[in-house]
Structure 1
Amino acid sequence: MVKVEYQGNSYSCGPEETVLEAMLRQGVKFPFSCRKGSCHACMHIAEKGALPPASQKGLSDEQISQGLFLPCLCRPTDSLSIAPKNSGKLNRRASSIARQQDAFLSPDPEMWEALDNGRVLSAILDDFYTKAFSDERLSPFFHGVTQQRAQEKQYLFLRQKFTGEKVYFGDRPKNAHHWMVISNDLFDYRESIMVECLERHNLPEHLIERWRALENSFRADIVKDEPWNRKIGDIEIPVSGYGEITLDIGSLCDSCSEEIDAGTTVRYHLRLGTLYCPDCMT
């Protein structure tokens, strides 16, 4: 059994365990999401020790040279000393872009004109979401959501940002992404795909930078090591768990699809809002 040194403590890692599994088994607060090397939320740096090649699958040459690896894929054969990924460089780049953001949070007529009053925006989003829904790192975040629905919401969100029209009535980014564990690396990966789409649709370079500045203004509301509760006003809604409510009007059970009469007490998921009839509540 090898040892993994992490933040001043030593942890055991069994022969069939990944570093992530070992950390979680021993109660360590450790960032993760997909557990299969797609999201990169668990990425750390190896300060000492030999990494198995599989632990760096899908990483760039630069990331590999820096000693970055994916604990969810790492089954070490030698003891390791690891540390959280140093995101200082990423944060400095984000800060540089964010300094431009004030000009871009107000309506942007030049951007909207370049987007041909929405026609080009629709094409860009169709291009981007087609790629995102087939991308192994991004697609898990769209589970249960259709591509059309995702595009429609983003179109309205951006239209409101660029024109000032009150057309978007969905969640703000912090609430919309509250359950998603998204690393700086994954945020940048998504951004790179979006930039490729913007370039393909011939958006001028200075407008691409403005688009990036807008998206980076929400980085702090999206990037996190663990889910946080959704907040509406002063009320926090837990990420998981169930509540009970008596229906004022009839509905359908999201589990068995049977009708539920008005006046019936049902169970509902606090985050998803899915309803369960009395037969499916247990």
Structure 2
Amino acid sequence: MFRIEYSGSSYDCDPHETLLEAMLRQGVNFPFSCRKGSCHTCMHIAEKGRLPPKSQKGLSDEQVEQGCFLPCVCRPIEGLSIVPAGKGSVKRKSSTSRKETFLSPDPEMWEALDNGRVLSEILEDFYIRVFSDERLSPFFHGVTRQRVQEKQYLFMKQKFTGEKVYFGDRPRNAHHWMVISDDLFDYRESIMVESMRRHNLPEHLIERWRGLENSFREDIVKDEPWNRKIGDMEIPVSGYGEVTLEIGSLCDSCGEEIDAGTTVRYHLRLGTLYCPECMQSPAE
């Protein structure tokens, strides 16, 4: 729940509702018309707080610089202090740049995370919420929460300590098939920030952590899936290929053993293998 300061009063806004919906729910006389971000009737200025990019879509560069935004399409990612458009005090910029610098390695961060103990607690808190969230949980279908937490722990530990402990995909390849908007990226970030605050991570370190995650925004946010890229080779998002095994394996469909020298079918993105009996009609 975020606090919205407006006209000398304080109001609450749930992460799942727009700022306009929150104001109307609490009986505030708030201007609006289309509710779709088209007419700009509801335009206000945020004097304090960071705005989700979607709330400023369609505005001029000057309006964005002034902190103008559209409450009807704004799902806050932190507390805001707002005034009607035309009554804003000074031009302002987002409190956290997408390209904000971060330290790597970061001894101060790792010490604050108690050499990993608090990091584990933050990630557990975060992924419990993510796996039960209707907007984020679909991205983790078929993957256990424990496995996701373990991989993210190693990724963050490597960033904060400089130790080579993570051997998974880089963010671009790990998210290559996921269609993620700026709004969804910010929504996910807001949940992470709440988890960090619940475990008392200092605010300046929270901002630094956010800077790290935002440095990967361009590798994650997209309108359509990307092919995985390994060196100069691109691997399609979907489809199947065939390969002759050099060592034995197990069929991911029926569980039967597959001998070395057998030609099998495999899913290009998932890597799942199918024995000759199952390869005629493998399940996605």
What is the TM-score of this pair, normalised by structure 1?
0.68
Larger proportion of helix: 1
Q: Following TM superposition, by how much is the alpha carbon of 1:68 offset from its aligned partner in structure 2, in angstroms?
A: 5.1
- The code of the aligned residue for 1:100 comes to E
- In the alignment, what sits opposite 1:255? 253
Deviations 1:140-181 (A, max 9, x none): 111111111100110010001011111111110000000000
RMSD: 2.4
Alignment of 1:162-201 (within 5 A): 162-201=160-199
Matched AA of 2:266: Y
Q: Does the 8 A contact of 1:231 with 1:237 survive in 2? A: yes
CA-CA distance at 1:98 after TM superposition: 3.0
Closer, same or farther: CA 86–233 of 1 in aligned 2, 3 Å? same
Q: Please show how residues 177-256 of structure 1 align to structure 2 within 5 Å.
A: 177-256=175-254
Gaps of 5+ in 2: 1-15, 22-31, 39-55, 70-91
- C-alpha distance in structure 1 between counterparts of 2:20 and 2:236, whole Å: 38
Amino acid at match of 2:258: I
| CA–CA distance in structure 2, aligned partners of residues 114 and 184 of structure 1 | 29
Opposite residue 230 of structure 1, the aligned amino acid is: R
Between the aligned partners of 1:252 and 1:96, the Cα distance in structure 2 is 48
Q: 1:68 to 1:267 in 2, by over 3 A?
A: farther
The gaps in structure 1 that reach 5 residues or longer are 1-57, 70-84
Q: Conserved in 2, the CA contact under 8 Å of 1:87 and 1:184? A: no
Q: What residue number does 1:60 align with?
A: 18
Deviation at 1:99, TM superposition (A): 4.0
Q: Does the aligned pair in 1 maintain the 2:249–2:258 contact within 8 Å?
A: yes
Q: Which has the higher contact order (CA 8 A, sep 6+)?
A: 1
SS of match in other structure, 1:243 = strand
Q: Deviations over 1:172-206 (max 9, x none)?
A: 00000000000111101100000000100001111
What is the aligned-residue identity percentage? Answer: 77
Partner AA of 2:105 in structure 1: P
Residue identity matched to 1:200: R
1:86 matches 2:57: yes
Q: Deviations over 1:29-80 (max 9, x none)?
A: xxxxxxxxxxxxxxxxxxxxxxxxxxxxx541448975159xxxxxxxxxxx
- Mapping of 1:1-282 within 5 angstroms? 59-62=17-20, 66-67=35-36, 86=57, 96-101=96-101, 104-282=102-280
Residues paired across the two proteins, number:
207
- Give the 3 Å change call, closer, same or farther, for CA 61–96 of structure 1 in structure 2: closer
Q: Structure 1 residue runs of 4+, over 6 Å off?
A: 92-95
- State the SS of the aligned residue for 1:266: strand
Which whole-Å CA distance do the structure 1 matches of 2:17 and 2:35 have between them?
A: 11
TM-score normalised by the chain length of structure 2: 0.68
Structure 1 residues 99 and 237 mapped into 2: Cα distance closer, same or farther (>3 Å)?
Answer: closer
Measure the CA separation in 2 of the matches of 1:118 and 1:93.
Answer: 33
